[in-house]
Chains A and B, each alone.
Chain A
Amino acid sequence: MNAVVTILIDGLTYASWLFIVAVGLTLVFGVLKILNIAHGSFYAIGAYAAASFVAWAATMKWAPGFSIVAMLLAAVAVAAVMAPLTERGLLRFFYGRDEVLLVLVTYAMFLILEDVTKLLWGANPYYVSEPYSLFGNLHVGVQTWVGYDFFLVALALVVGLAVWWGLNRTRQGKITLAVIHSAEVAASMGVNVSRVYMAAFSVGIFLAALGGAFTAPMISVQPGVSVGVIVVSFAVVIIGGLGSIEGAAVGALIVGLARSLAVHVAPVAELFSIYIVMAVVLMFRPEGLFQRTQARKI
């Protein structure tokens, strides 16, 4: 019984992290029809920025609790700087082109950002572990969990609700939904599609950076962080269905539980359990669980 609880909780915490990372990716695909390889890069930049901001907050003698604020600010800063730069400065020249071509453009972005990150922050790892102990520890039965992990669960819920509410309950959100359905029709009805693109992409980057910023206390922030995140978030988004927020949530849960199961029951499968699920979904239900896009199959 204890083992089951452990697996479930581990799965849930991992799923939360996955969701925060993947929801921005699926949103960007849903609106702009771009599968953004550089999403992982924005995650990494968020982590680095958080490391810097938290360190700066420490030198300013802020109370430890305010490091959360620092991390949030880091995510906002990343989005504020990177979004206009990459969307206006680069991506918009390629809108309307083939979807795989756009993936390649984002791959180029990823390559560039990898080195830009190294040039800005150096190649040595950063540790910003103080916030990790902010929420103390939780004892469930024999197991001890770090409170921060549950904070991430709460954060994932907040992010999910915020995105859902933003899309379904606000005017801007409904306009965005219209663009998701058909940019052409929306444009012909007077919607400023390029502004919607800009907004959606900014939110996407913000969410990626948010994921990175709040994960920073749990990892060593170093070059290569982006690389692992990219494929994992692709897996979640494919499983859930490209462009679907609910799909990202369900996909994250499935992947989280699959990995948790593998880690505790069959460690050999840990690394590829995620990709097996991704491959199986692609083989049998390529649109994912919450269909938004038609899978290009003949």
Chain B
Amino acid sequence: MTASVTVPSAPVVVRAAPRRFGLVVLAAGAFVLLAAAGYVFPRWLTFLLTMAAGNGLVSLGIVALMRGGVVPFGQGMVFAAGGYTAALVYNKLGFTDALGLALFGGIAAVLVAAPFAPLLSRYRGIFFAMLTLALSMVTYGLLMKLDALGGSDGFNVGRPTLLGQKLPDDRVGYTLYLLTIFVATVAAVAMRIFFDSTRGLVTLAVRENELRVEYLGGSVRQAMAINFVVAAFCAGLGGALVVLSLGHIEPDFSFWTTSGEFVFVAILAGWQSVAAVFIASTVLEIVRSFSSAYFPNTWQLALGLFLLFVIRFLPRGIGSLWTKRRGH
């Protein structure tokens, strides 16, 4: 990949096993905290955080791929796959459980991504980015033209239920918030475990030196294909959850600018801290909301400047601010 200047700096941290219990406790604590906070937050804030968590899931998948050295510019494809599946299952099959719909979304996204995984596992750099981009734009084109899927207007999704319970007016927002945060927390823990696993370590190795991985007996293509499928599952979950909170789905979910925002969050977060992904996603949502309210026509400007700042001064993302060097 890049020829990096060997300035003494912290090595990439690969975490040790005993931390796992602490990880789960930390995650559970964070969830409880967010759940409690959400109870008192104003509705617009819980909605913002719901969006941040749902969109963050997509960026989490992108981080999985970035650890292997590639940046996908077309996660909109699997994001849309998850969203449309949830919406269709709700409308056409009458299945309304939110958690179930989220899982349907994840699985559908995997089914969409899996045929392309072996192919994409052979690409790097610009060509990987462009092929994922092309696939997501093909999806966009299809969605725009297929009237059965609502065409360019998309279609609406009604209110979901959760575990058999109907959700009354005053509880819908908070319940969907809880669900999305819950799914995001579970996904975050799962991904952290995955990143720290032997497969996760091989992925880091692929990023730096593919040749040596093959010479050591590892399979680069298998690693990258699996990462692509895992990323798709996360994006599908996110797509379904976002659709349920928005109540609407449209082809824009697969447009390249949507994919670009997910990449933005992943770059902002860096690939070393899972929590950073959701923090970065929240930053994006905050910038988007506040700019629209107070300084219209500046949120993209802010994002662009942010991105440049991170690329130039925090190349490992905001996660690098707290992922300190740890000796063994």
Contact = CB atoms under 8 A, between A and B. Distances in A.
Tell me, yes or no, whether A binds B: yes
Interface of A: 35, 90, 93-94, 97-101, 103-105, 107-116, 118-119, 123, 227, 230-231, 234-235, 238, 242, 267-276, 278-279, 282-283, 286, 295-298
Given A100-B129, A108-B307, A272-B138, 19 more contacts: A94-B312, A100-B126, A103-B126, A105-B307, A108-B305, A112-B301, A112-B305, A114-B300, A115-B300, A230-B256, A270-B141, A270-B145, A271-B140, A275-B138, A275-B141, A279-B135, A296-B124, A296-B125, A297-B124
Given A231-B133, A238-B130, A99 B140 contact: no
A235 B140 CA distance: 15
A235 B210 contact: no
Interface of B: 1-2, 70-71, 119, 122-131, 133-135, 137-142, 144-146, 210, 220-221, 256-257, 260, 263-264, 267, 297-301, 303-305, 307-308, 311-312
A98 B220 CA distance: 20
B1 A231 contact: no
A283 B131 contact: yes
A110 B261 CA distance: 12
B304 A112 contact: yes
A235 B134 contact: yes
13 contacts: A104-B307, A108-B308, A111-B301, A114-B301, A115-B298, A115-B300, A116-B301, A231-B256, A272-B138, A275-B137, A279-B134, A279-B135, A297-B124
B73 to A, nearest CB: 8
The main secondary structure of chain A at its interface with chain B is helix
A2 B312 CA distance: 57
Nearest to B137: A275
B134 A227 contact: no
Nearest to A35: B126
A243 to B, nearest CB: 11
- Give 7 nearest A-B pairs by CB, closest first: A272-B141, A111-B304, A271-B141, A112-B304, A115-B301, A108-B307, A275-B137
Contacts of A297: 122-124, 127
A107 B260 contact: yes
Contacts of A93: 312
Nearest to A283: B119
B5 to A, nearest CB: 11
B210 A94 contact: no
Contacts of A107: 260, 263-264, 304, 307
Contacts of A118: 297
Contacts of B131: 279, 282-283, 286
